[in-house]
A and B are shown apart, each in its own frame.
Chain A
């Protein structure tokens, strides 16, 4: 069954990563238009329930398989890449997708990048897209930057492409807004200087609108375009309706910019050296599992472990440290009461301007900040809320701690 209610359209759009937050929103939007044939491509059926309720023909495709991608893209005129995943999928998968798009004569490729390509925190010049990109190697931002470069190279090889660069994404289904709400519910959100800083946010419908515009805009030169809500909303304005939704008292706790900087400055991350990464790889669960398939190695390992017990203290600890997989040390903040990441975001002090998107795409966000927050609240109340009558029962459920993980899942 084709994924459209009007199957004889000329524009055939493949949405890669269709089951994700942006992908699903885009597919629903494009189908509602009724003027496109939409081909939603998903990685796993397990996470595709939001789309499957529309009785769509969802096709599973493996981004690491060039042949499967060529088959999936056959006949598609446009491709939107909303996919995500581990580094290999992000890079080799995208290379495959671009190769298949070129081979299948795709007319337009729209790629979702991220403001993370500018680094964390981004430099002050990242108000505009031409700012220097300097993400830390091997981070999400670094992989997204490599992706941008792959798209730009494909564009030079003849694939007209648009790169959209959203910040955090809000609206119905937003995991970012949900995270902020949960931090408020748990008393872990502090506003820096009372929440005066501007938040970079785009409603998912506005992003989908920008993608739709990018499918047909005149310029497709793979230059990055910021896509923002363009509202200049502050953190105080952003969190105010969420505080009401969480039923928490106002105002939220506030810390000064100096206090926040001092706190976050004290959080040190150990540099990831080659030696550390090799040690982590060798001692990883996967490698150990493979090694332990050999009964000889398993026996040797058990003998070594039991022999260690008889060694003197210092030697025992050293050997024990080698045999155990090294734990990833999460940097511990000295201010554990507050969400470190959300505090860090407030210190950025910059707003990405979407003048270029306005010029190139004709983008004017159709959902206001208030509309975006209303949509999130409507979604949250419908999917999470219990109403006043059952709220006391829900509270009881939330305050009952779950048992430690392990054993069979109770339900499958």
Chain B
């Protein structure tokens, strides 16, 4: 476990300790006391060390849960040593870094997985299956929004530094939906984007996507770190409306022909994985991929694709309106 921060404590460590075929060798963090505290908290007889090099020779796999800007360096060290690597999302801070990781993994034949945990949710998988089969009809347009007033605060506070995260709300939380969107619809043909960054990480972002080569539809996506928004995905097809809220509990289909009818869509024998949680399913997938040599469900290449989309968004960035009091004071007095 590389990194003893909040995501390690709240998600990765409980997942690792719950799996019988995973032995936790060490918690690596420059602040050794933090690793020791985590080990104590979970009652794990695990070493806490400051340097990855101290334990690298003993590992089959590593979970990298450190600030984004460190992912590339740590991952390359693991890959070079032949250690399979699960990297917390995003894969890296730039496409270039991501490609370096993916290339190294290919060349060394080492498994690399990226921590887009929502892909392990049943409703997300079902949505992918039904979209692929065209069971919802022809897609016309979709919309997505997620917003919270801050909340998640990593121990080091690095998310407030654009250089450390590689971006803002899009990179920190929006990347989860963008990954799902890529897995459902593929890479968009057209993009437009605006955000409120003023030298730092953007807190609000609005993206427009157009798909012309695989059907003709478009989508609008909003992410916010200053406004609480009801989070979820809505898609209009020629058959009706499909809704998947961010709790990912159920897909709701409202057929166009029967406005009073609502259908809950799920796997016939579904919800069996619920008690295991996304992080545990992700770790199971990673372990199996490392043991069998099959690609991980979210591979390094897919991680690079997400970074490519985010970089494309930032490249075509337009400033979002933030001058709410735009009129000069005197005009406002008489407005």
Contact = CB atoms under 8 A, between A and B. Distances in A.
Interface of A: 19, 44-50, 52-56, 58, 60, 171-173, 205, 366-368, 370-371, 374-376, 378-379, 382-384, 386, 390, 392-394, 396-398, 400, 402-403, 407-408, 410-412
A133 B247 CA distance: 46
Nearest to B198: A54
Contacts of A370: 332, 335
Given A52-B203, A367-B329, 14 more contacts: A45-B159, A46-B150, A52-B160, A52-B201, A172-B324, A367-B332, A370-B332, A371-B325, A371-B333, A375-B324, A397-B230, A397-B232, A397-B245, A407-B274
B226 to A, nearest CB: 5
B84 to A, nearest CB: 22
A19 B197 CA distance: 16
B143 A394 contact: yes
Contacts of A402: 230, 245, 247, 249
Interface of B: 7, 10-11, 117-118, 121, 141-143, 145-147, 149-154, 157, 159-162, 168-169, 173, 176, 196-204, 220, 224-227, 229-230, 232, 234-236, 241, 243, 245-250, 252, 254, 274, 277-279, 320-322, 324-327, 329, 332-335
A1 to B, nearest CB: 10
A384 B229 contact: yes
Nearest to A45: B157
Given A368-B332, A402-B247, A397 B146 contact: no
B16 to A, nearest CB: 15
Contacts of A52: 160-161, 200-201, 203
Contacts of A173: 226
Contacts of B229: 384
Contacts of B173: 411
A370 B151 CA distance: 33
B254 A50 contact: no
Nearest to B142: A393
B226 A384 contact: no
A130 to B, nearest CB: 30
Contacts, number: 161
Contact of A383 (B157, B198, B226): B226
B226 A411 contact: no
Contacts of B142: 393
Contacts of A46: 150-153
Nearest to A394: B143
Contacts of A205: 325
B2 to A, nearest CB: 17
Contacts of B235: 393
A397 B143 contact: yes
B160 A49 contact: yes
Nearest to B227: A383
Contact of B278 (A19, A172, A384, A408): A408
Contacts of B332: 366-368, 370-371, 374
3 tightest Cβ-Cβ pairs between the two chains A and B: A46-B153, A371-B332, A47-B150
B324 A412 contact: no
B335 A47 contact: no
The winner among B197, B200, B230, B321 for most chain A CB atoms within 10 A is B200
Given A49-B160, A375-B324, A383-B224, A390 B246 contact: no
A403 B141 contact: no
Given A384-B227, A412-B10, A45 B154 contact: yes
B150 A410 contact: no
Nearest to A58: B160
A378 B249 contact: no
Given A45-B153, A60-B157, A379 B333 contact: no
Nearest to A44: B153
13 contacts: A46-B151, A53-B197, A55-B198, A382-B320, A384-B227, A390-B143, A396-B241, A396-B254, A397-B243, A403-B247, A408-B278, A408-B279, A411-B176
Nearest to A400: B243
A120 to B, nearest CB: 26
A402 B151 CA distance: 19
Nearest to B236: A393
B206 to A, nearest CB: 8
A386 B143 contact: yes
Contacts of B320: 382
Given A368-B333, A382-B320, A397-B145, A412 B226 contact: no
Contacts of A371: 325, 327, 332-333, 335
A370 B230 CA distance: 29
Nearest to B225: A49
A118 B250 CA distance: 49
A36 B139 CA distance: 54
B318 to A, nearest CB: 13
Contacts of A403: 245, 247, 249-250
A45 B160 contact: yes
B321 A397 contact: no
Contacts of B227: 383-384
B7 A397 contact: no
A53 B325 contact: no
A382 B196 CA distance: 11
B145 A54 contact: no
Contacts of B147: 383
Contacts of B250: 403
B203 A49 contact: yes
Contacts of B224: 383
A54 B196 CA distance: 9
A293 to B, nearest CB: 12
Contacts of B145: 394, 397
A55 B164 CA distance: 12
Contact of B146 (A368, A400, A411): A411
A368 B200 contact: no
B321 A390 contact: no
Contacts of B243: 396-397, 400
A390 B202 contact: no
B9 to A, nearest CB: 11
B200 A55 contact: yes
Nearest to B200: A55
Contact of A368 (B176, B199, B220, B335): B335
Nearest to B145: A397
